[in-house]
A = this chain, B = another copy of it.
């Protein structure tokens, strides 16, 4: 883009969004040009921050007319580089963060309507203010936006009971690639009047349009919680325990998080104020949570009975029931400390994979063999949302590994792990999306038919390929 063309674009954008809606200064732009991990870096002629849907529509229309590519960005907390512009300097960054109004709360219809730029934690607060519950929960909830959650179909720790973001959205408002607005902000539980447009935009990572408004589903506020930590001899036994807990506790089962002994030890080694929850280390651990709208004593009894049964039948060899809020927080700290512990422990090659739950144990056994054959001095840090079949299957490089070695081995190890995932009918990106990170791999592991269908849809919806080019497809 020539200097003259850039200045002309900025002048036109200025007329649409005013000075508060533009960032042209390099220092002000900087946070928008890299992801929070600092893994990707890009450039932009201008960061545009429209104040509302009408301004967004005007900006997108101008970009369409001037053939300017758009990278939409919410809280910029993504894991796959989906919101970072490329290095060309030709892609405008459209930040939704000024659009942060709660538009409507309807506790009778159990819906919450928000601007796309509302922070997830603020959506939680809004629901709580009318004694309702919005269940989407993830580490970045203090800074990620609802629009970003929708665009990436965010997962997190409540999927087992409440589903992914896809399952929590009733309606969308979207600015289309030509600047027109699709008004799909419906708050309906049933609507069979044509193709699922909403579902197409969810998880499309900004490649089909700019999401500006969302209708979210609300739920009854759980009033009772019960938490336990269990140790088991094998992943097989933990999977059987998951089945037992589902059969006994039904929808009360809210979390079933798995950590291998090595994952737990990493946290104990690296994170301050942590201690082992069981007297004797177990090869596999699970953090289990029940929640309910009923009284807590009954829920604790149910958890105790179910886990008692698991001890008797040999599914678990040790169980620790949390008896206080402080103890529960300490258990969650072990689970949530893994990310930090990994960063401290060195360089890791990470995989966010999903498998049929019935294949998890056999996959993990085979993957360990294959990974160690490829890199004998690696440490495998395997943990994740067992109830969703979602493993964060990470491989810690030897302490002396440098960045060149990491880069070189990443490609090789991704091939080993992702081919095995595909052989087991799994997904190479369970909840982190594709972005730039997995874009090239998608072509390897998706069938040509599926790739073609996705490209045809992209062509139909964004014929000029101006929405987040270089991502996903």
Interface residues of A, Cβ cutoff 8 Å to B: 106-111, 131, 152-153, 155, 159-160, 163-164, 166-167, 176, 180-184, 186-197, 199-200, 202-204, 208, 219-222, 239-240, 243, 246-251, 292-294, 298, 302, 354-359, 385, 387-390, 425-434, 438, 442, 445-447, 449-450, 453-454, 456-461, 472-473
Contacts and interface: CB of A to CB of B under 8 A. Distances in A.
Given A131-B247, A460-B457, A188 B153 contact: no
A188 B110 contact: no
Which residue, of A166, A167, A199, A447, has the highest number of chain B Cβ atoms within 10 A?
A199
Contacts of A433: 192
Contacts of A427: 186, 188, 190-193
Contacts of A183: 447, 449
A302 B434 CA distance: 46
Given A188-B425, A191-B429, A192-B432, 4 more contacts: A159-B190, A187-B356, A190-B354, A195-B453
19 contacts: A109-B389, A164-B189, A164-B190, A166-B196, A176-B453, A182-B449, A188-B430, A189-B388, A192-B427, A193-B429, A194-B454, A195-B203, A195-B457, A199-B199, A199-B200, A200-B457, A220-B251, A249-B293, A456-B460
Contacts of A160: 189
Nearest to A432: B192
Contacts of A204: 195
Give this chain's copy count.
2
A26 B112 CA distance: 55
Contact of A153 (B192, B239, B447, B454): B192
Contacts of A203: 192, 194-196
A313 to B, nearest CB: 15
A254 to B, nearest CB: 11
B196 A196 contact: yes
Contact of A187 (B180, B425, B428, B432): B425
Contact of A195 (B188, B247, B454): B454
Contacts of A184: 450
A346 to B, nearest CB: 27
Contacts of A240: 108
A220 B247 contact: yes
Nearest to A111: B356
Which residue, of A189, A430, A459, has the highest number of chain B Cβ atoms within 10 A?
A189
A195 B201 CA distance: 8
